[in-house]
A and B are shown apart, each in its own frame.
Chain A
Amino acid sequence: MSKDKRDSDDIKGKAYDSKLMKRLLGYVKPYKGYVILAILLNILVAGLGPLRPYLTKLAIDDAIANSDYNELLNISLLLVGSLILQAGIQYVLTYYTQLMGQKIIYDLRVKLFSHIQKLSLKYFDKTPIGKIVTRVTNDVEALNELFSSGIVMVFSDVFQIVWIFGFMFFMSWELALITLSVLPVLFYATFLFRKKVRDAYRQERKFLSRLNSYMQEHITGINVVQVFSKEKDEFKKFIGINSDYRNSLMRSVYYYATFYPVVEILSSISIALIIWYGGGSIIQSAMTIGVLFAFIQYTEMFFRPIRDLSEKYNIMQTAMAASERIFDVLDDDTIIENPEVPKSIEHYTGKVEFKDVTFAYNSDEYVLKNISFEINPGETVAIVGATGAGKTSIISLLTRFYDIQKGEILVDGINIKELSKDELRKRISVVLQDVFLFSGDIQSNIGLNSEEITYDKIVESAKIVGADRFIQQLPNKYNEEVKEKGATLSVGQKQLISFARALAFNPQILILDEATSSIDTETEILIKQAIEKLLVGRTSIVIAHRLSTIQNADKIIVMHKGEIREIGTHQNLLAKKGIYYKLYQLQYKEQELSGV
């Protein structure tokens, strides 16, 4: 439950979190060289800007006051020189900091994606795909600015302010103090503004995320919306979510609308103070006009970074919020752990054993209760039962998509928790109910771009399962592109592809999950023949509703409400006249009635 909350983009604690920041900065570490270079260049470039008002002061007080044309020209040339130098350094600086930023978010993005790939299915059951996608795309993107300009800009602003203060105090410390007297007010205003904007921003993100989830879900289910003619109602719902989002955005407009003018007014107060105090001093000949000139320019200069601080704060805000969500995912440890020292099976025979297995997806709703059974190497076991009896869960457990609450699952006598997951899964091929196809071509959907699977192997597998026939009819055969999720292929065709996929990986254990249910009888017979060949030397578990596909099973397990009720061969079970017998009777009633 707590996981759900964390993922829901609700308003969270403080915006600037030193722990978060520290962690973010951890990603900068590999690029220390870039950072040092950036800081050095920054110190240099930050001084060049404030140098110019000082040079202007010299121009006014020394050159113009003394009518010295040469001096004026010299100072002007110095000004030009500082300008060109500044521009050059600025370019190098921008390029390298951007490069660093891009590299960091690349690292982070790949790390995040890799982590998510490793998360257990529990995470995917609970988190909408749209949200997960947002994490690796937009959320990571939101960090770009922080790394590429944010961090370095903060340095450059700080250095520039230090330089400016230095020049100001050097020229007149009294006037400097008076000019800077508005700073406390400015800081307070900025502080208030930050607080307001932060809260507003969190609201924005929350509503945006809601909007995205809505769109994601309804685009995926657009057919349902349309077939039920619900466009109008859905549109109303959309308008509701969309206007929540708009309202949250408009709230922050008011904060910005207030803050910027306040800063401008404060800056004018500074200038007024310079005119008042500086003017007084000039009248008393205690100060030159050049100083006044320089100070007015400095006011402009130091207000800008402080005002922009709020913008930088925004960058940080965005980054903080995004990083919080990213770290939430990175910290998510719903990973099915590999054992520290995985055991390995030397002679993989394919023996499977469930011992008193109890399992629930959610803590107290048990889907499987005290399941025990044994499958010997090469045996074919069928699991039957009504829908929801827990058959599908058994597969997910054997491949360790979930960990069990109680009991043990053994493969070749070793608890699967002691095997490495990859090792385990490579031995098992699963054909799932819902066939999932990737974008790419038919070939890559069968071989899944595995280097171990050759083109010939792909074709061979397709031939065995009878997929080759329809693939050959496609314009580009095995290179035919699969459009999103194979929308242009029929469900049966997709299933054939997934069979071919399972075969191509040549597993020791084969699991078929209701896979035959959508295929017409003829195709089914084709596949059955193929499977029979395949079953030799392979342990297999067939989960099907149709009794016809399990007749040849060595053993049949009858599940009912999460428990095993009957185990035996077809004949045994029939003789028992229990649940299996009932299932059987129903299937055959029709034929008996028609008197064949």
Chain B
Amino acid sequence: MKSLKKLNKYFFRYKFKIILGIIFILFSNAAQVYIPILLKDSIDALKENISLDLIIKYAILIVAVAIVGGVFRFLIRTTIIIVSRKIEFDLRSDLWEHIQKLPTKFFQNNSTGNLMAHATNDISAVRMYIGPAVMYSIDTVSKFIIVIVIMISLNPMLTLYTLIPLPLLSYFVYKLSKKIHTRFTLIQEKFSELTTKAQESFSGIRVVKSYVREENEIKHFTKLSNDYLLRNMEKVKIQAWFMPMLFMITGISVIIVVWIGGSMVIEKTMTLGEIMAFVAYLGLLIWPVIAFGWVLNIIQQAEASMKRLMKIFSEKDDIYESSEINDSIAQIDGKIEFKNVSFKYGQNNNEVLKNISLEINKGETVAIIGHTGSGKTSLINLIPRLFDTTSGELLIDGNNVKEIPKEVLRKNIGLVAQETFLFSDTLLNNIGYGLEVIDNKVIENVAEISQLKKDLDSFKAGYETILGERGITLSGGQKQRTSLARALAINPKILILDDSFSAVDTNTEEEILTKLKEFMQNRTSIIISHRISTVKNADKIIVLENGVIAEQGTHDELVELNGIYADLFTKQLLEEELKEIE
């Protein structure tokens, strides 16, 4: 129940409607409970051979009371269930708002499938608690109390006998619910595994097909499906007891009424009408008692779901929440300084960057070159604070990045990531993604720089061309260039290209670099590349090796230095020469 308490603030938001709903429940129950009394009176009246007129009066009264009750039933749903839908909406919105803020690390540790399951299944489970569970539990409790009071007033002894099975029922419901809940959690886990597997298998379909691994994927999925079936049956074994036991225990009560009540009628200490009323009341109680077990179930499932949701809610944006933001920083000039920066992805991981110190002046172009895994991407990810340094300081314009407001920082950095992600939206919206308002001039300009113009002619709808999921209809190079245009469009003070031309042919790359040179005047740029031709003209070239700056300088200086860079350079040259000989 601890986790569900967190929902109180949502309930509070709609307190007026909820209170109204509760009042409606009470009214509707009052009407419902009145009908058995009318039944009792009419049967007892029949015993006394009363006129048909009185009987007709009772019949009309029964319908009238039912109509009043019905109107309140309508009002209950339109208040309480509506509120539950509203809270569901609020909760989902809050969850999304929170997820959006979480740091990159979180998304590396949580699969998309898992997060999706939380946002849909868990929220649904919680919604069932907010709406139906709350509605039925209030309904049940209030009805229970009223009915029992009336029963006692009719015949206390018989009431006592009839209620004997009930504590048994409560105990039984509780025990079963608990077991069901445990098994339900296990089912959910498997379901989540199943979802993740499907997700992965379909995302990697090209690989699966290329290597003819379909049967293997099917085998794996079949096994998971079977596990899922077995876990479901574990639950069924217990759950199947629920309804029969409930009916049996409540049925016993009715039998007690017939048997003991019947004896009392024979002894003339009770009337047949009263027996009718008792049977009718038990009929009214059966549903609440069943609902009780059901509600308990819902609550437990909701509790489990809420616990999972709370786990996400408690995930901190540890990058931003821990830092002291200096709100007076409203713009960025572009000077970047790494001071003894070290970084590792987790406490138990190895250091990816070790004691990096590096200064990049405003307007400078710095190129980073190095082997795969040497820490290039990790280094540049620190600048927009996708990750924070483990030790050391990263300064921008002399301010520690930890002090710069997130929006100010990120809106001034154009990061073209190594792996391109485009939205399934129009080309225009993808390029203009970072803009508040899409300005055609800006779009034209960045499309020109990124050499997208030529491609546009081959798209029927031009800028309005919709890109398939993850831009699958574009070639790798087109994707990269779109992603470059998107970064340029925000007019960044700092541009970071993380191996952004890997799928772009040299011809186009050349043209882009020439155009970029102009664009990058007065802006700071960092270019990661494997190609000497790309990095050669940079103001400064950094050679990273195992997380350490091994060499730095201009192209000529580095060639002179005769170290790693010179090595790479000669190797590339040698290759060329060898081919020339051929």
Nearest chain B CB to A352's CB is how many angstroms away?
16
Complex CA gap A394/B522 in Å reads 43
Q: Are B216 and A235 in contact (CB under 8 A)?
A: no
The number of residues on chain A lying at the interface, defined by a beta carbon within 8 Å of a beta carbon of chain B, is 173
Number of A-B contacts (CB under 8 A): 467
Residues of B within 8 A of A370 (CB): none
Residues of A within 8 A of B196 (CB): 439
- Say which residue of B272, B460, B510 sits within 8 Å of A289 (CB atoms): B272
Interface of B, helix, strand, loop or mixed by DSSP: helix
Complex CA gap A106/B228 in Å reads 9
- Say which residue of B43, B104, B421, B434 sits within 8 Å of A221 (CB atoms): B421
Complex CA gap A79/B266 in Å reads 19
Beyond A227-B386, A293-B275, A519-B372, list 19 extra A-B contacts (CB 8 Å). A75-B258, A94-B236, A106-B226, A113-B218, A117-B205, A215-B116, A223-B107, A227-B417, A235-B96, A279-B42, A293-B43, A436-B203, A496-B372, A514-B476, A517-B503, A518-B499, A548-B576, A583-B506, A583-B507
From B247, which residue of chain A is reached at the shortest CB distance? A87
Q: Are B67 and A60 in contact (CB under 8 A)?
A: no
Q: Are A125 and B472 in contact (CB under 8 A)?
A: yes
Nearest chain A CB to B501's CB is how many angstroms away?
9
Of residues 446 through 495 on chain B, the ones whose CB sits less than 8 Å from some CB of chain A are 455, 458, 460, 468-470, 472-473, 475-478, 481, 486, 490
Of residues 255 through 283 on chain A, the ones whose CB sits less than 8 Å from some CB of chain B are 256-258, 260-262, 264-265, 267-269, 271-273, 275-276, 279-280, 282-283
Q: Are B244 and A265 in contact (CB under 8 A)?
A: no
Of the listed stretches A12-20, A34-42, A184-192, A426-434, name the one at the interface; the rest are far from the partner chain: A426-434
- Say which residue of B46, B202, B434, B572 sits within 8 Å of A124 (CB atoms): B202
Nearest chain B CB to A1's CB is how many angstroms away?
13
Nearest chain B CB to A511's CB is how many angstroms away?
9
Interface assignment of B60: CB less than 8 Å from any CB of chain A: yes
Nearest chain B CB to A247's CB is how many angstroms away?
9
Of residues 54 through 94 on chain A, the ones whose CB sits less than 8 Å from some CB of chain B are 56, 59-60, 63-64, 67, 69, 72-73, 75-76, 79-80, 83-84, 86-88, 90-91, 94
Interface assignment of A300: CB less than 8 Å from any CB of chain B: yes
Kindly supply a per-residue 1/0 record for chain B positions 273-314, scoring 1 wherever the CB is within 8 Å of any chain A CB and 0 otherwise: 001100110010000000000000000000000000000000
Q: Are B208 and A229 in contact (CB under 8 A)?
A: no
B: interface residue count bin: 35 or more
Answer whether A128 and B433 are a contact pair too, CB < 8 Å, given A387-B476, A488-B108, A545-B505.
Answer: no
Of residues 131 through 179 on chain A, the ones whose CB sits less than 8 Å from some CB of chain B are 132-133, 136-138, 141
Complex CA gap A491/B399 in Å reads 32
Residues of A within 8 A of B201 (CB): 113, 117
Q: Are B423 and A221 in contact (CB under 8 A)?
A: yes
Answer whether A522 and B504 are a contact pair too, CB < 8 Å, given A230-B434, A272-B59.
Answer: no
Nearest chain A CB to B530's CB is how many angstroms away?
5
Q: Are B59 and A275 in contact (CB under 8 A)?
A: yes
Residues of B within 8 A of A67 (CB): 266
- Say which residue of B39, B109, B198 sits within 8 Å of A136 (CB atoms): B198
Complex CA gap A226/B410 in Å reads 8
14 chain-A/chain-B pairs, Cβ below 8 angstroms: A60-B262, A98-B232, A106-B229, A113-B218, A128-B424, A223-B417, A227-B413, A228-B490, A261-B70, A275-B58, A433-B503, A525-B571, A548-B576, A551-B579
5 cross-chain pairs, A with B, having the tightest CB-CB distances, nearest first: A492-B372, A387-B477, A261-B70, A268-B66, A257-B77
Of residues 559 through 596 on chain A, the ones whose CB sits less than 8 Å from some CB of chain B are 570-571, 582-583, 586-591, 594, 596
Interface assignment of B359: CB less than 8 Å from any CB of chain A: no
Nearest chain A CB to B578's CB is how many angstroms away?
8
Q: Are A518 and B108 in contact (CB under 8 A)?
A: no
Q: Are A273 and B108 in contact (CB under 8 A)?
A: no
Complex CA gap A581/B427 in Å reads 33
Residues of A within 8 A of B345 (CB): 488
Interface assignment of B69: CB less than 8 Å from any CB of chain A: yes
From B490, which residue of chain A is reached at the shortest CB distance? A228
